[in-house]
Amino acid sequence: MESTRIYRWGILGAARISRRGLIPGIRETHRGLLHALASKRPGVARSWALEFGIPRAYGSYRELIDDPEIDVVYVPLANDEHLPWVMAAADAGKSILCEKPLALHTEQAEAMAEHCAQRGVLLMEAFMWRHQPRTLELLRLVRGGKLGDLRLVNASFSFPIDPNDWRLDPTKGGGALWDVGCYGVNCARLFAGCEPHAVHARAVWSKPLHGVDLTLAATLAFPNQVVAQIDCSFEQPYRCRYELVGTKGSLEVPDAFLPRDKSLALLRAVEREIPTELTFDNRNQYGLMAESFHVSLDQNKLIEPAENGVEQMKVLDALLQSARQVGQMVLIS
Reported as a single tens digit per residue, the pLDDT across 196-244 is 999 999 999 999 878 999 999 999 999 999 999 999 999 999 999 999 9
Of 183, 241, 180, 251, give the one whose Cα is nearest residue 213: 180
pLDDT of residue 261 exceeding 90, the answer is: no
pLDDT at residue 267, as a whole number: 95
Give the pLDDT band (50/70/90) at residue 1: low
Which domains does the chain show, CATH number per domain? 7-127+288-307 (3.40.50.720), 129-283+313-331 (3.30.360.10)
| Residues annotated as part of the active site | 100
Determine the Cα–Cα distance for residues 26 and 31; give it in Å rounded to an integer.
8
34 has which bridge partners?
9
Q: Would you say how long the chain is, in residues?
A: 333
Phi, psi of 55 (to 5 degrees): -60, -40
pLDDT at 327: 81
- Compute the distance between CA of residue 321 and CA of residue 313 in angstroms, rounded to an integer: 12
Is-contact 222 195, C-beta < 8 A?
yes
- pTM (2 decimals)? 0.97
Q: How confident is the model at residue 253 (pLDDT cuts 50, 70, 90)?
A: very high
Q: At what angle do helices 310-324 and 106-119 cross, to 10 degrees?
A: 170
Longest dimension (CA), the chain: 62
Residues 112-163: tens digit of each pLDDT? 999 999 999 999 999 999 999 999 999 999 999 999 999 999 999 999 999 9
